[in-house]
Each structure stands twice: as C-alpha cells, then as structure tokens.
Structure 1
C-alpha cells in the first residue's frame, strides 16, 4: 500500500486522464482565471472606469446645492420613506397615479445604505439613490454601445455625454422615477441583443422591461422597438418559442400590478375608494394637456425651453443622429424609436411630462456616438481605398464636420452650465425656510407645505396629520375629513414655486395665499420661499386687525421713545413711531427703562424677516442696575412677555422674542 504521505495533495495538483500528461498545479489555474479575465477586458475597463469616475464626481459634487428641490422629488422621497418608517406604500392615500415599483427601489437603496439617517434633508438621500441608478445606466450605455458594434472610445463617449451633459445632469440629480426606470430599459435592450443564450436573454429582457414600465409607465412606449430588435435578432428556428416566452413573462409582470389593485379591492371605481382604472384614465385621458410649443405661455413651451436652455447642442445633434440612424441597419430600431418618441411629444392634446427627456438621453448619447463612429470608420475606409458609395463618403465627411462644430460649441456652453451645477446653492432658500419653521413655528401648528419638505418637518417633530402636502388639501378624502373647513384649518403655508404654479388650480390654495401674511422670506425669483401665516377669519378681517395692531404699536412706540431713561438713535426712534417693533419688546423696554437708564442698539431684522416686526435687540444698562440684574428681570417676566432667549452681547444682553406673538398684547 502506498503511503498517503507520498501522494500528491489534491489542493496542489490536478490529475490528468491522459497518459503521460503533466500534472498541472491547481493554484496556477486559479491565478490564471482573473489574469485571463483582465487580459480580455482590461482595454474596456481602461475606457469605462474613468467615465464612471467622472460621472460619479460630477453627479455627487454639490448635489445638495443644485438644482433646488421640487415638489415631485419630495413626493417620491416621502413615499420611499413611508415604506420604511410607516409600513405603508405612500405617505397619503395611494391612488395609482404611478406604479409603486420605482419608489420601492428607492426605498430599498436607502434602507440598505442607511441613507435617510445620513442626511438632514431627506430628498438628498433619494438623490444619492439617483446617483446609484445613473452610474448603473452609464455602465449599461457602455455595454449597449459595444453590443451595437461601437468601438471602445465611441462607447466611452456615449457614456460620458449621457453622464455629464448639463441637460442630463439636471435631471439625473433630480429624484424622478424615470431615473429608476432607465437602467432597466437599457438592460432590456442589452439582453435583447443576446446571441449565445438567446432564450435566457429574451426572458431577462422581458423581465427588465416589465420592471422599467412598473417604475415609470411612459417607458411602455419603447415596447414595439424592443420587440423589433428581439424579432430581428432571434434565431429563426426558435423565434416563435423564445418570443412567446418573452411575451408571456412581460404579461405576467404587468399582471402583478393589476393583482395588487385587485387584492386591495381597488381595481374598478367605487364610492369612497381609489381605483387602478381611474389612475389609468387620469394618465391617458383626463390629464390636462400641455398645450402647443408655439404658445409661449403653455407648459409644453416652458418644458421644452428648459431643456433647450440646458443643452441646445445635444438636443440638435441627438435629433439629427436619430434621423441618420434610421438609415443605418444596425442602428435602425433605436433610430426609429427616437424619431417616434420625439414626434410623440407633439401629439395634439397630449400631456408632456417635464422628465420625459430622461428616457431620450441615453439613446441620444448612444446614437450621436454611434453615427460618429460609423462616419469615422467610413472615412478611414475611404482613406484606405475601400469601396464605398459617393453618398456614404459625402455623408461621413459632413457628419464629422458637424460633430467637430458641435464639440467647439459644447466647450463654452457646458463650461458655463456645469459651473452653475458645481458651485451654486439654489437650495439655500429651501433649507433656510425649513430651519425657520422648525425653530419658530409651534410644533402643534397645522402646515400646508410643498412635499419637498414633508419628511423633514415630520422628522422635526410636527405631527404627520398636521403636515399637509398642499396638493392633497382638496384631492384626498382622508385629508378633507381632517380639514372640514379646508384652508381655514391650517396655520401656516410653506409657499414655493410649486405652490404658486401647481397650487393655482386649487381653490383652497388660492384662498390660503390670498388670506395669509408673509412672516419670513428666503431667496428670490423662482427660488423664493415664503412662510405665510394663514388668517382663518379671512383677508378683510385680518387686515382690519393688522391695521388696529399697527396703530397700537405706533402709539405705544411713540410714547416709549419719549422716555428719558431710554437712550436710542433716531433710526430706532423712527422705528418705534412707525410701529415696527414687536409689541412685547415695546412693553418690556418700557419696564426696563422704568428701573433705570438703558441704551438700545438699532435692531436688525432676523434672516428672512426683512419685512417683519423687529423682535431682537441689544440692551445695555447705563447705571443703576447690573447686567445680571437686567437678565434676572428679563427671565422673570410672565409667560406672555418672557423672551425666547437672553444672551450676552458686548457690555449688555441680546434679547430675542419668539416669532409668534400673542394677540392683544398692547391691550392687556
């Protein structure tokens, strides 16, 4: 018997069945696999990885500053947050306006990464998820380009344009369901081009496309072109079988959404409930049209103008590349799809979603790169003497000249636009307004808000039922039941551009705007955010009360200004006479001056309160009492008059009253 000590160890060798064949060390095979993989894919990685790195940096840098948060972002963020924290599919009644798969994926990302706990602003957690989905899309743009026969440099250019075009960056940073759907759509086309394992590839394409559509329903428009690509590439011997399997899987995925509605008893309309059918009718039939591109006041014109302002070059070049691609056999399905999607925008009476362009971006970038790659190859063939038609030769030269002109135009255009994304802080008004509300508004107040701040305010301590997304005040039965008097049951309105525009269609929001007073303002123009205190008694009564209060402040202030123990400048004397001081400040300054001489510095408006009453001032004793005695007096005042804070300031104290003053202070 041979000793086991003399046998070769299985871990070190592989035994060959071929007589006389050498024994190959297994560890060499193990090391050879990654080395072999790197040799085969190293060149591709050398092109792809730098593009990914650039995309990650450009997307992530200053994503908290630009663009400013919008209402739609807050909605998808709040829905994702509700899944994790409330165990509900949405933070309000889910009414089938969109399938939930999109924000389920956002919720999955934020749950796995702990993103909501890492940001004070909830929307930023969802923007981080957008970064992830965008990077996945960049990789898939690369793979799709290579599947279509693009050279490595051309595929890399496609990924780079898709990642860093200002038009792409604006929408990739924004929390849109389209960004979640895009990698699934790209994956569907990549799988559709499978040759070696076609059945598995077609099945994966159908599943990917189904998830794309359940992430954003408008992606269903790509179905005919995906089917065309699969039909064209299918093996004729098994075409019927593979396409039948693919179609069946796609139908099953779609039926999953129908099953959700059926299980909840919300498939068909009924009294007191939402339904899938009503959601579909809203999206396809009853939604207000966007108008005409020739109407400068239409939503269509505003949407397309925004796209155009961000990147005219990519829009023009992408459209031309789509037309050219129709005449290039390997690119034809994507070219026809792009021409169809562009033409679809101009259908009469249709609604054009603002993020519709997100679906077009990867294919525009791909086709620009593909047509350019095709032209370069045709030009090289001509140089080498290969046969080609005069039209091909002329077309390739013309396209290369156009591309060169586009590159020259892109450099200054992109430089200006990208600088804005990387160094501007357009979201500062939103953050500052949020901080003001969290600091100054009582936690038992009822707020009408832009959905972009809904999660933040709930996390800050406001009751979920008291933070009302303005859109729901007259569209959600549950909210209406809690607000039987509509806008009158709310205390404050968080006014943003979304409230000013989208809210214009709501009678409650129009009334809330008309019957409220601005108490704090941040930013300007479209970025301006106003905090409004709602006057539940109505505008006329509120104006009467405001005039009476102003008259009382003016009279009391003028009397206080005559006090010989009060040392003030002419500026403050005028402010007192004009009734610009908080009524509590007038009473308290009178009490302090009665105890001994004091000087009061000119008051400065607190951030956002340039038009509001002065409620902060610096007071310094001028004899007769010490700073400590002054502090003791201030802190011992009754609940109506006690300041919110008293802190040292120079030789005296800085006194700040709360933003919400009790009514009738000067008449008490």
Structure 2
C-alpha cells in the first residue's frame, strides 16, 4: 500500500506523544513547585508577623525557653518541675539555636526559640502537601489543606509559641509521608526511616503515640506483612532502649495543666474548629483519610482530659485536620449521581458553590477577629526588660531568686547564672538570695516549694512592672516592713511634706505639691530640702519617678531642684554624708537632679510622727 505524504512514519507518533507527555508532566511539576513555594512563604510570613505576641501563650513556654538557653550555653537550669520534660525536644531546639545563632541575633530570648517554631511550621506545610498528594487528593485539595493551615489564626497563634509538640508533629508527618509511599516505590529504608521518625516524635512529646494507628494503618495498606512487622520491630526496639537504659536522659513527661484554656484558643478561629470536628467524623467513612481520622479522633479525645494542657493535643491536631477538611471537600466536589436516579442539571454544582461561598465568608469574618486578638501588645516582654534594667541599676551582680522567665531574661543579658537561684532549686543551694524577681506565675508557684516560700515570706515589694498576668514583681529579701511602722512613716511624710509645701522659701506646684501633700516623697529629700530652704529660696521642679517603684508604694527618691545659684545647690547635696548622702547629684536642664538610694531608714521625721 502506498504511504501518504502527510502520514507520519511508523514509530514517530508514539515518540511525539511521549515527548508531549513529558512536557505536560514537567509543566505540572513546575506549577506544583511554584504553588508550594508560595504556600511556604505565606506560612512562614504570617507567623513571623506575630512572633512577639503574648496572647495567648502556654504556661510551659518560659520553662522551654530557659532549658533551651541553658543547653545552648552549656549551663545548668532547674525549673519548677510542673512544666514537663522533653530532653530530646530541648536538644533539637538548642541545636537550631546554636547553628543559627538565634540568641545572638535576638534580644528577646523567647523570640529566638520561637524562630524554630516558624521553621517547624514551614516543614509541616511541605510534609502536609506531600502527604495529601500521596494519599491521592487532587492538586486543588492539597493546596486547600495547606492554605487552611497557613492562614488560620488558630494555627498561627499556636504554631508560633515555643512548645516541643510542634517538633513532634513534624516528625509524625514525616513518618506518615514515608508510610504512604506507594507499594511499587517502597524500599526497606523507607520503613526504617518511618520507624525512626515515629520514635523521634514520641521522644519529643509522649502524645505522639496517638499517631501510631495512622502510621500502622498506612503501612498495612501496602499488603506487605513482612514490612509492617519489620517497622514495628525497629520502633519497639528503639522505644525500649529510649525508655529503658536511656530513660533518665531521654524520657519525656507531660506538664501540669495551666492557662490558657481551650476557650482562649478556640476564640481565635471557631470556624476552623467546627470544620475540623466535622471533618474528623466524616473522615472515618472516607477510605483515603480514614487512618488519619482515627488518630485525629484519639488526639481530639485527649482535649477532654483536664490533666493535660490543651495546647499539647491542639498542636498535634492542627496540621492534621486541614487535610481531612480538604478530603471532605474533594469528595463532595467529585460526587456522582446514584445509579438509577436522574440528577437535576446544575443542582449539585450550584449547591456546592453556595456552600463554599458561605463558608469562605464566615471564615474570613472569623479570621479578621482572630488576627486582631493575635496582634495584642507584647507587654510581658517589656515588663521583663524593665525589671532587668531596674535590677541592673540598683542591685547589679546580687544573688536573685527567679522563676523560669526571669531566669532566662537575666541570664541572656549577662547576669551571672551562679547568682540566679530558681524557686525549684532553693533547697539544693547554699546561697541566700538578696532579691526576688518573679512573674505572676512564679509567685503562684513559690508556695509549692518550702525553701522558696520561706524566702518569699520575708520580702518587701520594691518595684512592679506591667499589670495583670504580665506583672513582674521585684522584691528585697529580708526587708519585710512592719505594717504599723510603715503607717507611721507615711503619716510623718504626709505632715512634713505638707509643711514644706506651705513654706514661703519653697516654690512648688502641680504634681510636685500633690506628691508632698500625699506623703509620697522620700524623707531624706524632705529633710534636705527643708535645710536647703533655710539658706535660699528654691523651686522644686519635679519628682521623677523610677519606673515600677510607684506601683509598689515606694516613696519618690529623685528630685529636680532649681534656684538662683544651682552650683551652690549641687555643692550642698554633694557635701551631705552618712544617712543623707545621695546616690548621685547631676546637673540637668532646668536644675539639679538628686537621687537617693533605696530604703530610707525609719525615724528621720520623728517630730512629725504625731498629728
């Protein structure tokens, strides 16, 4: 038969088709890479924006930061004991801090540790994408799963805080990706790595054991019993070693429950929580994601146990439920009409579009509210910084009683760690603290330790920074004031200050006069101003308050005073000795700044003790 000129020679058509398929495959892979990279940028970017936010934050975070700082700086730290342990998790965080020099680049220690959480969230996004594709979800469904995790305020708020469960769920997702490897491509090393990843997850956080059903189910799906048994043996052997001979160095423990509760987290994104619960139940009947739904259901059940902090199971649950939501959406979108029934044209597509539009609007409205709650001012970090600076100016190098958060703040800024005594290690140290710097949680934990409680019983509050749950209290150990004596001193300051304010030799007005009349001025300033006024007329410009001292009820011990001869005023104060010797005398614009040290001795205003 004659061959037509326009026909392709034998063998050319298949080659052309193969070439076209290779081009299409390459284009799809490039598109996948572009989409995944965009999702990673969004995932990391939105978490970096709220990295310094403190609302909400788990009670275990300060202890985690302190342990990581101690490990990365080869020093020791003894916590309160109620925040759980995770030596392997702390080692991972400390390793990243050493490699990336996070503590050197960040002035705030908690921000340095939270960097690792951002990296873990990005890795979770990659693994979630790969897992969705290996389970057979379409391209758009895998993208939807990662987007949900990337932009949900609940996921953002939770994945920015420093808890080891974020590392554990990364190991879990890596194990699930390896377990979901197709049978024709699975190799023995896939199973070994899956077992090791599961072991790393359990050593990082004990709750990761709840992911074992999902990993085992995915392995059984390959229908290779020998592989499943091999993986189980490797995992069990590693677990036995880790919890047996290596138990003291590797065994993790769960922390005691503490604020915030489940309501604080759910308020960030209630729509995501509702969709997640629905998807977990629906996922139990969907073949592709049924293994994940089983483990997700077990993890969700832990939320009902009051003995476990809610952020721990939430951290494991947040990366899993978006995949279940995407699978439910993919199943609805790919629905087929039942056999023998006539489907009304466009009915189901329109219903699906309307439902998707409603869910999107509701989610966006909830996200706007959730993002606002995440952007609260980081007052706790500011208060800690103010307390550290105040202590540096007034008690540099002293032995200080601290809790987890204040230990890290002082140690990170050069305070000798040998001079820092945690409330959990008071009984094991021979040193006696001179000062106490405690957060609100530290003051609550102090009574649990008899040695720390004994020290705290004899303290006088000197300065308070911040307010509410972010308050930082600085106290002097061994300076407990007698309430009756303090009342007498306050009355004497009030009467002496009022007499000074009414003197014709002393000019004062506004806040300065109010401070004198209210008895808020240090008795040494009252006595020296009265003596100075006998020589020349003076003007009291201001009583600059030391940050935090007014909130603690301490008298104002700084004064800006002016007159006709400011040099003589400065000489008068520099010539004072003993009790009335100032800590500093400085010429400033507007007059002379006089500063007295803390703790005026009692009885300086004895003539004014009685009305």
TM over 0.5: yes
- Provide closer, same or farther for how the CA distance between residues 537 and 582 of structure 1 changes in structure 2, counting only shifts above 3 A: closer
1:630 equivalent among 551, 566, 569:
569
- The answer for the alignment partner of 1:203 in structure 2 is 192
- CA–CA distance in structure 2, aligned partners of residues 657 and 64 of structure 1: 36
- Structure 1 Cα separation of the partners of residues 330 and 524 of structure 2: 74
Q: Could you say which residue in structure 2 is the equivalent of 1:498?
A: 441
- Give 1:254's match in structure 2, choosing from 239, 259, 274: 239
Q: Answer yes or no: is 1:85 the counterpart of 2:73.
A: yes
CA–CA distance in 2 between the matches of 1:37 and 1:514? 73
Structure 1 residues 49 and 188: CA distance shift in structure 2, 3 A: same
What displacement does 1:52 show? 1.1
> Is the 8 Å Cα contact of residues 62 and 422 (structure 1) preserved in structure 2?
yes
Q: In the alignment, is the contact (CA less than 8 A) between 1:102 and 1:214 conserved in 2?
A: yes
**1:604 and 1:495, CA in 2 relative to 1: closer, same or farther beyond 3 A?**
same
Greater CA deviation, 556-565 or 59-68?
556-565
State the partner residue of 2:319. Answer: 362
Correspondence 1:164 to 2:103: no
TM norm structure 2: 0.83
Displacement after TM superposition at 1:559 (Å): 4.7
Whether 1:650 aligns to 2:589 is yes
1:567-607 deviations in Å (ceiling 9; x for gaps):
11275345324321123322332343344221002435343
Contact 2:463–2:475 (CA under 8 A) maintained in structure 1: no
Counterparts in 2 of 1:532 and 1:456: CA distance versus 1, 3 Å: closer
The aligned residue for residue 220 of structure 1 is 209
Pick closer, same or farther for the CA change 1:93–1:169 going to 2, 3 Å. closer
**Structure 1 residue 145 and structure 2 residue 132: aligned?**
yes
Distance of aligned partners of 1:578 and 1:148 in 2 relative to their CA distance in 1, 3 Å threshold: same
Question: Is 2:462–2:475's contact at 8 Å kept on the other side of the alignment?
Answer: yes
Aligned twin of 1:375: 332
* Aligned counterpart for 1:59 among listed residues 47, 50, 54: 47
The answer as to 2:409 corresponding to 1:447 is no
Report if aligned partners of 1:447, 1:466 keep a CA contact under 8 Å in 2.
yes
Q: Match for residue 549 of structure 1?
A: 489
Deviation per CA, 1:12-66, whole angstroms, max 9, x where unpaired? xxxxxxxxxxxxxxxxxxxxxxx99964521112211111111121111141244
Equivalent in the alignment of 2:37: 49
Asked if the contact 2:292–2:320 (Cα under 8 Å) also holds between the matched residues in 1, the reply is yes
In the TM superposition, what are the counterparts of 1:376-415 in structure 2 within 5 Å? 376-378=333-335, 381=336, 403-415=356-368
1:202 CA displacement: 1.5
Please identify, of 252-261 and 104-113, the stretch whose mean Cα deviation from structure 2 is larger.
Answer: 252-261
Q: TM-score, normalised by structure 1?
A: 0.77
Shift of 1:416: 2.2
Matched, 1:342 2:312: no
Residues 518 and 531 in structure 1, CA contact (< 8 A), matched pair in contact too: yes
Name 1:11's counterpart in structure 2: none
Structure 2 gap ranges (5+): 1-22, 607-611
**8 Å contact from structure 1 (residues 535, 542) kept in 2:** no
Q: Secondary structure at the match of 1:362?
A: coil
Match of 2:287 among 329, 340, 343: 329
Tell me if structure 1 keeps the 8 A contact 2:405–2:439.
no
- 8 Å CA contact 2:385–2:409 kept in 1: the answer is no
TM-fit CA distance, 1:661: 2.5
Question: Paired residue for 2:228?
Answer: 243
Residue 166 (structure 2) aligns with: 179
Question: Which among 515, 519, 523 is matched to residue 462 of structure 2?
Answer: 519
1:585-596 aligned within 5 A: 585-596=525-536
Deviation at 1:629, TM superposition (A): 3.9
Give distance in 1, aligned partners of 2:576 and 2:26: 76
Residue 131 (structure 1) shift: 1.0
Equivalent residues in 2 for 1:478-497 (5 A)? 479-482=426-429, 490-497=433-440
What's the offset of the Cα at 1:410? 1.3
Aligned-partner Cα distance in 1 for 2:507–2:83: 65
1:315 is aligned to 2:273: yes
SS at match of 2:236: helix
Displacement of 1:128 in angstroms is 1.0
Distance 1:648 1:388 in 2: 94
Find the counterpart in structure 2 of residue 12 from structure 1: none
List per-residue Cα deviations over 1:409-442 (Å, max 9, x = no partner).
1112111221342463343543454344444441
**Structure 1, unaligned stretches of length 5 or more?**
1-34, 268-274, 291-298
Give yes or no for contact 2:460–2:478 (8 Å, CA) kept in 1.
Answer: no
2:508 counterpart (568, 588, 598) = 568
8 A contact 2:560–2:591 mirrored in 1: yes
Q: 1:607-622 maps to which residues of 2 (within 5 A)?
A: 607-611=547-551, 612=553, 613-621=555-563
RMSD of aligned residue pairs (Cα, Å): 3.7
Alpha-carbon shift at residue 199 of structure 1 (Å): 1.8
Q: Which residue of 2 aligns with 1:31?
A: none
Instruction: Encode CA deviations 1:189-220: one digit per residue, 9 max, x unaligned.
Output: 00111120332211111111111111111111
How far the C-alpha of 1:324 sits from its partner, in A, is 0.6
1:106 matched to 2:93:
yes
What is the CA–CA distance in structure 2 between the aligned matches of 1:567 and 1:207, rounded to whole Å? 78
